Homo-oligomer: A and B are copies of this chain.
Amino acid sequence: MTNTNIQLTSTISADNKLTVALNNVAMPQPGTEEVVVRIEAAPLNPSDLAIMFSVADMNTATQSGTAQQPVITADVPAKFMPAVKTRVGKAMSVGNEGAGVVVAAGSSPGAQALLGKTVAVIGGGTYQQYVCVHVQSCLELNEGTTAKEGASSFVNPLTALAMVETMRAEGHKAIIHAAAASSLGQMLNRICIADGIDLVNIVRKDEQETLLRNMGAKYVVNSSKESFRSDLIAAIVETGATIAFDPIGGGTLTSDILNCMEAAITHDSTEYNVYGSGTLKQVYIYGALDRGPITLHRNFGFAWNVSGFLLFNALGKLSQETVMAMRKRVAAEITTTFASHYTHEVSLAGALHMESIAAYSKQATGEKYLITPQA
């Protein structure tokens, strides 16, 4: 174990500047219930970008420093400063998850048992070479699973599983998923096929429809088509889906989904009800791919919820048993059901090159970056 540790941090200063840079930091020392993980691979998720670049105007971004120690700076519009006031002047660590080998462990049996093991970790700022985390933030990967294979063991897999468990807990029988060709969407598709749950996939492009159909998806509707609404209504009539998950938020998709649910629920009703159907229609918004306003055109009666959905909140509503079973399933199926596909690998320094930033900031469906901090 070397003595150098490089960490990517993001800082917003009081004079409206964002700085993202690599720092040499101390090698962490594990507490009793902690381990130090040498991070081999960490994915770039949308939630990581929200910390890394925050509310900065990335059109103003410039790269300075050296190729090995790049520094990104950008302006933060004054109007957004109040929203980030509690992080001003603090060097925020970045990286929600990753995987690597446990190279040091605290004295507790739980920590010691992980020594030398390849684990996935959640939290702690994984965009660094060595991260110190609590034992419970580790998922031991099965023999033969590599760190790269296990790098995305938490955010997408547990979110996809939490969607299914939420559907069950709230009494729905099929799911609608928007931006369904994403890594998460592909996982959800595999879970639903395996578990016999009807899933209505909403995509925007023909090739995304093809991708999902080739993966066995039965219901795929394309929101770019003229026939989108009638296609979606038909799929809801067939599946009975009354819960949806939407990572986009901004715009009218959530509204469209609710209106199509209501149209499907009432499509063969002969009774008029001025308040709409009594069937609860639920849309969870779990991301902000479109940060614009969410616009709801109400033709869906009074039995509806639109809610934020956050993995940690959702897990908190599930039993400890259910969550443990979810983690076990992820470890067992990390190279199948929960496999992630990365289109690019970059070092910590490479993640701070302008051309990489321009590419992964698009958050294009099907494009996914993996950071390899040891490279």
CB of A197 closer than 8 Å to a CB of B: no
Per the 8 Å Cβ criterion, residues 120-153 of A in contact with B are none
| Residue contact A308 to B302, C-beta cutoff 8 Å | yes
CB of A271 closer than 8 Å to a CB of B: yes
In the assembled complex, the Cα of A169 lies from the Cα of B90 at a distance in Å of 40
State the Cβ distance, A373 to closest chain B Cβ, in Å. 21
Choose, from A67-75, A103-111, A290-298, the stretch at the interface: A290-298
- Identical copies of this chain, number: 2
| Residue contact A296 to B296, C-beta cutoff 8 Å | yes
| Residue contact A306 to B303, C-beta cutoff 8 Å | no
In the assembled complex, the Cα of A296 lies from the Cα of B290 at a distance in Å of 12
Q: Are A295 and B298 also in contact (CB < 8 A) when A272-B92, A305-B305, A308-B303 are?
A: no
Interface string of A260-304 (1 = CB under 8 A from B): 000000100111111100100000001010010111111111111
B92, B298, B306, B312: the one within 8 Å of A305 (CB): B306
Chain B residues lying within 8 Å of A308, measured Cβ to Cβ, are 300-305
| Residue contact A47 to B274, C-beta cutoff 8 Å | yes
In the assembled complex, the Cα of A38 lies from the Cα of B250 at a distance in Å of 52
| Residue contact B313 to A278, C-beta cutoff 8 Å | yes
Chain B residues lying within 8 Å of A194, measured Cβ to Cβ, are none
| Residue contact A310 to B305, C-beta cutoff 8 Å | no
In the assembled complex, the Cα of A304 lies from the Cα of B313 at a distance in Å of 11
Chain B residues lying within 8 Å of A313, measured Cβ to Cβ, are 278, 302-303
Chain B residues lying within 8 Å of A271, measured Cβ to Cβ, are 86
Interface string of A197-216 (1 = CB under 8 A from B): 00000000000000000000
Chain B residues lying within 8 Å of A315, measured Cβ to Cβ, are none
State the Cβ distance, A142 to closest chain B Cβ, in Å. 30
B90, B294, B301, B305: the one within 8 Å of A296 (CB): B294
CB of A224 closer than 8 Å to a CB of B: no
Chain B residue with minimal CB distance to A296?
B294
CB of A51 closer than 8 Å to a CB of B: yes
| Residue contact B303 to A310, C-beta cutoff 8 Å | yes
| Residue contact A275 to B86, C-beta cutoff 8 Å | no
CB of A83 closer than 8 Å to a CB of B: yes
Chain B residues lying within 8 Å of A300, measured Cβ to Cβ, are 308
Per the 8 Å Cβ criterion, residues 80-96 of A in contact with B are 83-84, 86-87, 90, 92
In the assembled complex, the Cα of A301 lies from the Cα of B307 at a distance in Å of 11
CB of A228 closer than 8 Å to a CB of B: no
A-B contact pairs, 9 of them (CB 8 A): A47-B274, A51-B274, A275-B310, A291-B298, A294-B295, A295-B295, A295-B296, A296-B306, A305-B305
